[in-house]
Amino acid sequence: GENVEQHPSTLSVQEGDSAVIKCTYSDSASNYFPWYKQELGKRPQLIIDIRSNVGEKKDQRIAVTLNKTAKHFSLHITETQPEDSAVYFCAAWGGADGLTFGKGTHLIIQP
């Protein structure tokens, strides 16, 4: 089955700086890669996703890049704000197993 590794587990950045979270996956057949934001005690919310037929996707301050050859994808958040503080999960769809999630990154935005 699919295996997703996510780094770092904790990331602290100054407000206004950029944050980058990286994930690798194992199943070359995976073709859908969503990112979820989860605030404390709340459900995961999809913030951006990318499919294997594109290399990059942007939505305002958030972007995701995908390198299929290297089997890794990254989340980029620019001009970070206090409300960006949360746990972020990457995931990959590897066929009939549903989504396989990374273990999460706790993003802390320092004022």
Partner 1 sequence: GAGVSQSPSNKVTEKGKDVELRCDPISGHTALYWYRQSLGQGLEFLIYFQGNSAPDKSGLPSDRFSAERTGGSVSTLTIQRTQQEDSAVYLCASSLVLVSDTQYFGPGTRLTVL
**Binding residues for partner 1, per CB under 8 A?**
31-32, 34, 36, 42-46, 49, 51, 89, 91, 93, 95-104
Helix, coil or strand: residue 16: coil
Shortest reach from residue 57's CB to partner 1, in Å: 13
Shortest reach from residue 93's CB to partner 1, in Å: 5
Query: Is residue 74 a contact partner of residue 21, using CB atoms and an 8 Å limit?
Result: yes
Shortest reach from residue 44's CB to partner 1, in Å: 5
Decide: residue 30, CB within 10 A, 0-12 exposed, 13-18 middle, 19+ buried. buried
